[in-house]
């Protein structure tokens, strides 16, 4: 009887302690994700400054860009490799809450060029890229969590053409039906699905474009 009482008390305590711990871990993961996107934003802004205001996908490979790798089945990782000089580690490309994606192995000990050499496919990425983002238009969307939906349907990896009436949202997989987005000015916002739609509308109005292209890994 005493053993049963002890077990019962432990079960009750676990029920009281574990949910708050899970919420705290999720919050910490999302905060770390924000930090990663800020570092990514800084890397692309430095690249832009060094290349006349352009992002890699707008420049030829001969000029340090990645334009040749745009296509119907884009090799998204190549657009990230262009900013390796400005990112400390490729682990920054993996959201802490994205359990389906893993950074390269041994990134704490291997020389930087060897670690980045492991980025050879889209499975090492957690964040989409917005090809229509502009540094001089703060509301445009440069990057964000990949757990996107259109009309409630998860978005597959590849080239996503966004139109005015598309209903954007997030799946539950990464940040519990929410996500983080990186804007053209380098700022990061925590957004719900409804807030993401508002940001998408603002980006359209600011840029004057009715369609945008995002590369989803």
Q: What is the DSSP string of 120-166?
A: -SGGG--EEEETT-BTTBTTSEEEEES-EEETTEEPPSEEEEE-TT-
In the prediction, which pLDDT does 22 show?
40
In the prediction, which pLDDT does 104 show?
83
In the prediction, which pLDDT does 24 show?
42
Sheet holding 153-154, edge to edge: 153-154, 148-150, 168-170
Helix (H) or strand (E) run with residue 170 in it: strand 168-170
CA distance 46 to 25: 32
In the prediction, which pLDDT does 100 show?
92
In the prediction, which pLDDT does 115 show?
85
CA distance 5 to 15: 15
Q: Pairing between strand 168-170 and 158-162?
A: unpaired
In the prediction, which pLDDT does 29 show?
74
In the prediction, which pLDDT does 154 show?
96
pLDDT < 50 regions, the chain: 6, 14, 17-18, 20-26
In the prediction, which pLDDT does 215 show?
96
In the prediction, which pLDDT does 18 show?
44
């Amino acid at each position: 009887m005493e053993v049963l009482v002890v077990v019962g008390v432990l079960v009750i305590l676990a029920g009281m302690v574990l949910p708050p711990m899970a919420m705290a871990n999720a919050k910490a993961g999302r905060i770390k994700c924000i930090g990663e996107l800020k570092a990514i934003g800084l890397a692309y802004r430095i690249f832009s400054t060094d290349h006349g205001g352009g992002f890699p996908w707008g420049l030829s490979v001969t000029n340090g860009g990645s334009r040749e790798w745009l296509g119907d089945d884009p090799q998204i990782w190549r657009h990230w490799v262009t900013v390796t000089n400005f990112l400390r580690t490729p682990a920054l490309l993996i959201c802490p809450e994205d359990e389906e994606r893993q950074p390269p192995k041994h990134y704490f000990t291997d020389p930087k060029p060897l670690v980045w050499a492991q980025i050879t496919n889209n499975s090492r990425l957690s964040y989409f890229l917005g090809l229509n983002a502009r540094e001089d238009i703060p509301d445009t969307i440069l990057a964000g969590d990949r757990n996107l939906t259109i009309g409630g349907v998860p978005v597959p990896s590849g080239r996503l053409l966004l139109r005015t009436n598309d209903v954007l949202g997030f799946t539950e997989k990464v940040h519990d039906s929410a996500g983080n987005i990186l804007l053209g000015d380098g700022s990061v916002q925590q957004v719900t699905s409804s807030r993401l739609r508002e940001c998408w509308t603002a980006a359209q109005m600011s840029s004057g474009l009715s369609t945008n292209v995002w590369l989803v890994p």
